Amino acid sequence: MRLDRLDFINGGMDRGAAFHMAVDEALLFTASHPTLRCYRWSRPAFTFGYFVPWSRVECFSGDRVRRWTGGGIVEHGQDLTYSFILPASALASTAKQIYYSLHQAITELLCEDGHSAEQSDADDETASDSCFEKAMVYDVKIGRMKVAGSAMRRNRQGVLLQGSIQNVQLKPGFGGRFAGRLAKDFQVVAVSSLTIEAAARIAKERYGSLEWNRRV
């Protein structure tokens, strides 16, 4: 997968885990072009997959927010977190191809920076709810350590993929290089006021609510 155009959103708007998840969902409904968003965290937090029971995370302290995407439990704080939005109008690849392509780009960039990174060729047999204790096929590993993984949501609006890169030191500007690897041309953009307004509403009604986070 090699895009002709990509909008790149770099950092900003750190209002907590609920708002981050809401921005990603709002972008799926408002983005008119393929979009990559990369950001970091000002305070520790946990996000957990759509199907993970609340009982698996209730013992953790701090922000705990259920993602709209699947996957396991991800601890945030020192990681580079990214979301990739592919509107239905630009959707020409299968879910497997999208997942593979994004992780291939990360693998290639890490190798360029001197890391012995590679994509997993099979699912780990480890039984764990922690996303980074169990690599799935196409996840990125350095030796036996998983360093990048993501989870996906697909509906009639398009595809939302949410991922994290951790357990590895990234060089400055990694996000921009990531965008450049995914597309022939990318433009740095800001989140629109329309998307921010939608995200604030979604964060309050969904990701910030006990009903959503403790529903399973």
Q: Is 38 a catalytic residue?
A: no
Strands 73-76, 35-39: pairing is unpaired
Q: In angstroms, rounded to a whole number, what is the distance separating the alpha carbons of residues 66 and 74? A: 10
Nearest-10 crossing angle of helices 17-30, 193-202: 130
Supply the DSSP symbol for 184: E
Candidate list 38, 59, 111, 131, residue with the active-site label: 131
Contacts for 143 with CB less than 8 Å, ≥ 6 apart: 116
> Over 72-139, what HEC string results?
CEEEECCCEEEEEEEEHHHCCCCHHHHHHHHHHHHHHHHHHCCCCEEECCCCCCCCCCEHHHCCCCCC
Question: For residue 63, how far is the Cα from the chain centroid?
Answer: 17
Active site residues: 131
